[in-house]
Structures are given as C-alpha cells and as structure tokens.
Structure 1
Amino acid sequence: MQINETVNKGLKRAYQITIGAKDIAARIEAEVKKIAPQVKMPGFRPGKVPANLVKKMHGEQLHAQTVNDVIRESVDKLMKDKELRPAMQPKIDLGAGYEEGKDAELSVELEVLPSIEAPSTDGLKLEKLVVPVSDEAVDEALQGIAGQQKSYKDAPKTKKAAEGDQLIIDFVGKLNGEEFEGGKAEDTPLVIGSGQFIPGFEEQLVGAKTGDAKTIKVTFPADYAAENLKGQEAEFDITVKQVKIETETKVDEEFAKSLGLEGLEQLKGLIRGQLEQQTAGLTRTQMKRQLLDLLAAGHDFEVPEGMVNAEFEQIWSQLQQEAAREDDPAAALKEIEAEKDDYRNIAERRVRLGLLLSEIGQANGVEVTAQEMSMLIQQAAQQYRPEDRQRFIDYVRQEPMAAAQLRAPLYEDKVVDFLFDKAEVTTREVTQEELEAAIEAEESAPAKPAPKKKAPAKKEAPKKEASKEEKPAAKKAPAKKAEPKKAEAKPAADKKPAAKKAPAKKAAAKK
C-alpha cells in the first residue's frame, strides 16, 4: 500500500492510497482457502471442492467483500500512521474506473480537528445573579393553585343555571327512541361552558333550575370516538338534581389536606422549592452565557468547515420551521434570509466553543460514566413507541456516533459545572425581572472580540434554545492520537451512515 498526501491546507487533508492488485488477489486466494472446507457441491465430498470452482462460484462476492475490507483497513492505517483526528466522516472514493485485476486507487478527503491547547482554568470570574423567593411570591403562587381548584356550593332552588355554574344531572340518551350503550349516567357534574360534553348539550341547559326535567336534542360529531354514534342525532332525557354556583376556595389546612398533603406549611414549602428551582435554572443560564462569552473572547482558532455547515443546517432548519408557523411565512423567511450570515457566525461560535469545552474536559478528567450513559439511553428510549424502545437501545449501543450525540449535552454540562467550581463567583441578589432582563441583554449584546479576529455579533438562537443556555454544537472531541474506530474518536456532529436505521419516534399525542 502506498500513501501520497495531495492536500495539506489548514484543516483540510487529502490522500491518494494505492492498493496493489497482487495484494487484493492474495487476500482473495486466502479467503477462498478459508471457506473452501465449508463449501458443498454435488459430486464432491465435503471439503474437497477445488479452489478454482469455489472461486468461480463465489468470486464476485469475495472480491467485493475483500475490496471493502482493504479500503477500511487502509483508511484506519492512514489515520493511525498520520495521527489524524477526523472532524467528520472522511470522504472515500474508489473511482468509477476500478476493475478486478487492477490496482485500487483510493482518494480520501477529510478535515481534521484543530490542535487546541487546553486553556488555564485559573482566574475565571463570574457573577451569579440570584432571586430570593419572597413570602409574597409563595402566597401569590398559592392563590394561583387555589384558583385552579374550583369548588361549588348549592344555589337556591330558584337560581337559573348560567355559564360557569355546575349542574348535577341524571341523563338517559336515546337513538330513534331506544337507549344506547354508554348513554346513561347518574349524579354527573357538568359545568356549563366547560366543553365537557358534545356541542349543543351544555348550551341547552342554560336557564335550568334544581328539580327541572327536560329533553334536549344533539348531534354527535362526525369524528366521534364511538363508531355507532358518529353524526347521529340523539335525544337526552335530563333531570337537574342540583344547580351549584362557584365559591371562593379558602386556603387553609383543609385545602392543603385535600391535595394529599399533611398541612398548609408543607404545601408552602413545596411551592417555595418549585419557585427556587425555576429561578435556579435562570441563574444557571445567565452564568453559563457569561462563561461562554469569556471563553469565546479569549480563544480564536480555525474550526472544521464541515462541522460548521452541519451546525448551521440544524439552526437553519429550526428557523425555517418557525418561519412556516408565523402568520406571514414569506415575510418571516425573508427576514431570516437577510440575517443568514449572522446565523452562520453563530454556528461557527458554537463549534469553536464546543471544541474548547471538550479540550478542557479531557485535560481535566471530566467524563460521562457508564451508569450515566445507561440512564441517558433509557430516557431517550421513552420518546419511542414501547415496541420500538429496545430496538433504539440496541441501535445506540451499536453505533458510536449515535451514542456520542446522546452523550454530548451531558458531557458539556459536566464541563461547565467543573468550570463553575473553579471560578471565583460573586453573588448578587436581584429580582426575577432583573435576572430575565440580564439574560435578554446577553442574548442581544455583541460578543467581545477575540484576539485575532472580530467575533460576530450574537443573534438570538432558534426557539429550541430559548429554555436553555446557549449550547455549543461541537461534541466530545477525540483524544489526541486516537484511532478512528474508538467511540470518542470523532465528535458527535460526525454523522456517518448508520448500519442500522434507528426506529421512528412515536407520534405526539393530539391535544
């Protein structure tokens, strides 16, 4: 095998690999000898079929398999000998002119990961904005919960039912004068205007009083669940047993116990914990953006174009989907088209930050444990139909790239937490409005210039990022001098064709 480097510019590499026809033929002959003892052919005893007949029967298949094997082995050897760290799957081309009996001329094109010196983690200074949860905020949330737990009291018998009132009714449904299955119930609560019953049912009970009996006519919707009732006109004999009016829910010990808790103090404690958790998420977002801005401002290096393109395509696809949901999709699309270069700059920033975080993590022993990875796989499997979950789990375990993509967000968060622990953090109390305003300001503020070239102005990322910190795109980069086959040898952005197709995710339930 001969290897000639044809391109070495920046992060781009290209090689011409020549695999001799004699080497390929020798491999085929060795394979023929290997399988000959297992070949059965009429007229020959098992294991006694001549090699030339074996080759005649299976030669085309053996040749194709051998060429594939030597290509894979040659590329693996190239990566190892040249100490290459591919950023994405190399482009491999055998050429249309190759024929059996000729030398195989193989071209290999790829981008390599940049050499990054792990930055010092000393001297980081971050400001942590925290929102103390006040008693007033707890009380406000408590009243909100109480407002959702509506209660009703009996109304005077002369009260005519109106929208928002609750009726306790018995009813019997009939089709052509005959009762139908599932059309009868007693002591059923119904709030007028709630839309709980089929269209036209509740509206005809407006004005009813306690003790009234009436018959109403309704038509079942064409898409009703019960096949025998779709589009059918039915009569319902109704007895109004009680008209009730909404009453204010009193927040007290009994209210807390009605929610399955020990008392009001436990309920307040749970609410306080939820509010603290919500603001803690905002605080982390604000701190992470600070951290990423510091890293982006202090480091500037060339990043693989293929990785940037892949990240940009993800951003752009999300933006296009959001534009399609706008009232004027054409205008929305035109707006993002005008800012296309800015979003490409965002993609480049994310890739650079991802590679940098990866280098920091590897230099400081940050890793995702096998137990954590197993939990990630199980959680991701829940997005699929029950019958497809095991197939998804098997797919991820067999495909290193799929596993790397799943691992990447957790790995990144662990590196960020490591840097938080290393940083000198000062804490300042603010209101939630001030914290949200600070995050909004960081989203729209231009990034600080990097040492060598001006960093692009930051734009708001697609909405999928709105609830999270800005997420660098680059996944866990390979360790230096790693062989391409290893799971960590390529970033997860490297999407090679999967040997097995992952199962389709289950459809979202209609609301």
Structure 2
Amino acid sequence: MNVTETLSQGLKREFQVVLNATDLKTRLDDSLQDLQGKAKINGFRPGKVPVAHLRRLYGRSVMADVVQNAVNEANQKIVADNGLKLAFEPQIRFPENKDEIEAAMEAKGDLAFTVALEVLPKIEIADLSDVSLVKPVAEVPDSEVDAALERMASSNRTFASKGEKAKAATGDRLLISFVGTLEGQPFDGGTGEGIPLDLGSGQFIPGFEEQLEGVKTGEKRTVKVTFPENYTATHLAGKAAEFEVTVDDVQGPEAVKIDDELAKAFGMESLDSLKTAIREQIGRDFVAQSRRKVKKSLLDALDGKYTFELPPTLVEQEFASVWSQVETDMKEAKKSFADEGTTEDEARAEYRKIAERRVRLGLVLAEIGEQAKVQISDDEVTQALVERARQFPGQEKQVWEFYQKNPQALAEIRAPIFEEKVVDHLLGQVKVEDQTVSREALYADEDSDEAPAAEAKPKKAAAKKAKKAEPKDSDAAEDA
C-alpha cells in the first residue's frame, strides 16, 4: 500500500492510496484460503472446497471485503502516521473509469483511490488568570412563594352553578355539549357532551370562547370558527366549521382558599410544608438560572480568548440546523424577514456567526476537557438516560433500548454531561464573585439566556427562536 499526501490546505487534507495488483491478489488469496476452512458446499467435504471454485462463486464479494478492509487500513494509517484528529469520517473517492475498477476487482490492475479529510485545528489552551466573573444569586422572597400558592389555589379552585338566569363572563366555567359540522356534515372529534370550558382560558380554538360570552344555562348558540392552518388534525386545518352548542350549566369560581386542605390536595401534610416545598423548588430554579448566567459569562470570556480556523463542514452543518429552525419558526409565526426589520441575507450572515461561535466554543471545551482528563462515569450516563426515559411515560423501555442500541444517540446523552463538567473545571480556574440581585434581575434578558450559552445574541427578535438545544459542537468534538 502506497500512501501519498496530495493536498494540505487549511484544515483540508487529501491522500492518494494505491494498492497494486499483486497486493490485491495476495489479499484476495488469503481471504479465500480463510474461507476455504469455513465453507460448506454440497459435494465437497468441509475444508476441501477448491480455492478456484470459491473464487468463481464468491470472488467478487470477497474482493469487495478486501477493498473495504484496505480502505479502513489506509484511513487508520493516514491518521496515525500524521497525528491527525478528524472532524468527520474520511470521504473516499474511487476512480470513475469502470474498466479500471473492474481490473482491480479481478486483481489484474492497481486500485488507486483518494481519501479526503477534514481535520480539527490545533488549539493552544489560553490563560484564564485575568478572567473575573460575576455570578448573580437571589434569595427567594415571600412574595414569590405567595404568588405560587395563589396559582396553585387557582388551578385547584372549585366552581358552583350560578343559576339559570346568570350570564357567563370571563373567568366562569361552562359545561357544554356540542356538535360540529364541516359544510353541514358532522366530522370525527367534533362532538362532545358535558365538556368543561373556562372562558378566557384560550383552551379552545380561536374565536370559540368569545362567542359564548353572556350565555345562560340552557341556551343554545351556533359558533362559527376557522381551524388554524397549523392545527394538529390535518384534515381540519384551515377549514371553516360550525358548532351547535348547548350550555348545560354556567358556573362561577368559588373563593380561593389557601389552607391545610389545599396543601393536602397537593400531597402535603400542611400549609407550612407546602410553603417549604415551594420555597425549595423556587430556590432550585434560582440556582439553575444563576448557573446559566455565569456559564454564559464564562463562554463569552472564552470566545474572546480564541481565534482559529474552523472546520468548514462542521460550521455548515451547525448553520443548517440553526437555519432550519429559523425557517420553521417564521413559517409557523407567518412572518417574513421584512416583518423583523431585516433581510434574508442579513439574517443568514447573523446566524452563520452564531453557528461559528457554537463550533468554536464546542471545540475549545472539548480540547480543555481532554487536557484536563474529564471523565464521565457509566453511572452518570445511566442516570441521565433514566431521566430522558422518564420524559416519555409509558415508553420508557423503548426509549432505553433505543439509546442502548444507538451509540450516536447515546453520545447525545453524554455530551451535555461532559460540557457541564468542563464548565465546572473552568469555573474553578477563574475568579467568580457572587452578587446578590433581585428575582427580576436574575431573570433579566431571559430570552437570550434560554439559548445555548455558546450562542451569540442575535439582534433581531426572530433570532431568539433558533436557540433550543445545547451546543452541538461539543458532541462531535468530545468524540474526536
């Protein structure tokens, strides 16, 4: 096997690999000899099938395996001999000349192919001794606990009939029965009896509740609505419908009671224990938000410390993921770039910067984690996988088996754990000062903080919608 580097441009490398006909024949003969000891063919004793006969029967398929093994061997040799870290799996290009391929498959001619690589850049770890971060922390105010209690009490409040003459208003609950039709014909899912509807809740399709304002018990009304274009039942999406509605009862909300009985309704022994539980939960939320804030500040500081060439394909893949989400969100919102005060070209340029930032910081975190020898235990992965499975009630077993059988999917479970451990490592190296702030200050700029911390903050409002998952770059970088 002869390997020659033919291109070294930035992070791109290409090598030409040549397997001469003699080498191909030797490899083929060795494989057929190995097959001879295993083959079971009618008319021949085990291990006694002539090699020439095996060549006629299986020669081409065996040679295909020979070539694949040679490709794998070449890839490993190129990476090892040149000390490369790959950004992606090598791309193999075989000759386009069919006669050349056929000759190689018969071991009568040389086989030359090209291995194209994209490598990770070499990253020198920056000095962080001059980095100082402010970590906002907030105490849980009594008002926050009281507000949570009010919401819980409201969600658990009871309703009582207002009588036959009372008119329904926002905040009241209706018990209704209805029959829906499309062009005069009933449709599946369009009929209901004794269905509760809280006026003002927005739980029914747009326009439905408003037409029932002021109804009385026993009253009948025809409600005319149009299903949203993105309605989940595609056979109803965008269609006009009529509902013949009968109001079975008009009920008004009873006074909200915040007492021990409310606590028991939520599985707690007393109101005090419920308040304690609420305070602890809000406290955990505050801690998580504080963590997000200081992590974002840390990654902002890292972003200013590193400048290096990025693997083009990594950037393109990240940009494609972000841009796809942008297009989906704008389509669902029925907005254009003009509505957001920008153009598609400007938006693309802005999101490409976000993609580049994600890739850059993902690679930096991966390199820092590797040099710091950050490890993820099997128990940590298992715990994270259990949490993921719990997100799909009734399908826990299927989710568990899916991840166990798919290494790439399991890597998506490992990546956030790895990233958080690297962040912990870095926070231990920089100066972090706690600063007590209000709840409002802690959650200020919440839209941008919901995003992956590695993202730059887009200028346009629509940009917020592309920010959904943790930086994907660290997934690839950790495995590189």
Short-chain TM bin = 0.7 to 0.9
User: 1:253 aligned to 2:236?
Assistant: no
Offset of residue 269 of structure 1? 1.6
Instruction: Return the alpha-carbon distance in structure 2 between the equivalents of residues 424 and 19 of structure 1.
Output: 57
**Deviation readout 1:103-133 (Å, 9 max, x if unpaired):** 1112111121111123345443110112222
| Residue aligning to 2:134 | 127
Alignment of 1:157-168 (within 5 A): 160=166, 162=168
Task: Determine if contact 1:16/1:106 at 8 Å carries over to the other structure.
Answer: yes
Offset of residue 246 of structure 1? 2.6
When residues 427 and 80 of structure 1 are mapped into structure 2, their CA distance, relative to the original with a 3 A threshold, is: same
User: 1:392 aligned to 2:402?
Assistant: yes
| Residue aligning to 2:433 | 426
| Residue aligning to 1:68 | 68
Offset of residue 73 of structure 1? 1.1
| Structure 2 alignment gaps of length 5 or more | 178-190, 224-232, 234-240
Relative to structure 2, which stretch is displaced further, 56-65 or 417-426? Answer: 417-426
When residues 90 and 189 of structure 1 are mapped into structure 2, their CA distance, relative to the original with a 3 A threshold, is: closer
Offset of residue 306 of structure 1? 1.6
Instruction: Return the alpha-carbon distance in structure 2 between the equivalents of residues 477 and 244 of structure 1.
Output: 59
Instruction: Return the alpha-carbon distance in structure 1 between the equivalents of residues 164 and 15 of structure 2.
Output: 92
| Residue aligning to 1:95 | 95
Instruction: Return the alpha-carbon distance in structure 2 between the equivalents of residues 235 and 47 of structure 1.
Output: 82
What is the aligned counterpart of 2:359 among 345, 351, 359?
A: 351
Offset of residue 282 of structure 1? 2.6
Q: State the SS of the aligned residue for 1:7.
A: strand
| Residue aligning to 1:138 | 145
Q: Aligned letter for 2:403?
A: I
When residues 332 and 17 of structure 1 are mapped into structure 2, their CA distance, relative to the original with a 3 A threshold, is: farther
Higher relative contact order (CA 8 A, sep 6+): 1
Percentage of identical aligned residues: 31
Offset of residue 6 of structure 1? 0.9
Task: Determine if contact 1:285/1:439 at 8 Å carries over to the other structure.
Answer: no
Q: TM-score, normalised by structure 2?
A: 0.76
Q: Aligned letter for 1:251?
A: I
Offset of residue 153 of structure 1? 5.0
When residues 388 and 335 of structure 1 are mapped into structure 2, their CA distance, relative to the original with a 3 A threshold, is: farther
Q: Aligned letter for 1:321?
A: T
Q: State the SS of the aligned residue for 1:87.
A: coil
User: 1:80 aligned to 2:80?
Assistant: yes
Residue-pair matches, total? 433
Alignment of 1:253-402 (within 5 A): 253-329=260-336, 331=338, 335-380=343-388, 386=395, 388-389=398-399, 392-396=402-406, 399=407, 401-402=408-409
Task: Determine if contact 1:159/1:243 at 8 Å carries over to the other structure.
Answer: no
Offset of residue 272 of structure 1? 1.7
Task: Determine if contact 1:347/1:473 at 8 Å carries over to the other structure.
Answer: no
Offset of residue 355 of structure 1? 1.2
Offset of residue 45 of structure 1? 3.3
User: 1:50 aligned to 2:15?
Assistant: no
- RMSD over aligned CA atoms reads 4.3
Offset of residue 26 of structure 1? 0.8
When residues 429 and 336 of structure 1 are mapped into structure 2, their CA distance, relative to the original with a 3 A threshold, is: farther
| Residue aligning to 2:185 | none
Task: Determine if contact 2:220/2:245 at 8 Å carries over to the other structure.
Answer: yes
Q: TM-score, normalised by structure 1?
A: 0.72
When residues 389 and 435 of structure 1 are mapped into structure 2, their CA distance, relative to the original with a 3 A threshold, is: closer
User: 1:9 aligned to 2:9?
Assistant: yes
**Deviation readout 1:353-402 (Å, 9 max, x if unpaired):** 11111121122221221122233445445677848536523432xx4x44
Instruction: Return the alpha-carbon distance in structure 2 between the equivalents of residues 129 and 94 of structure 1.
Output: 57
Relative to structure 2, which stretch is displaced further, 258-267 or 433-442? Answer: 433-442
User: 1:435 aligned to 2:442?
Assistant: yes
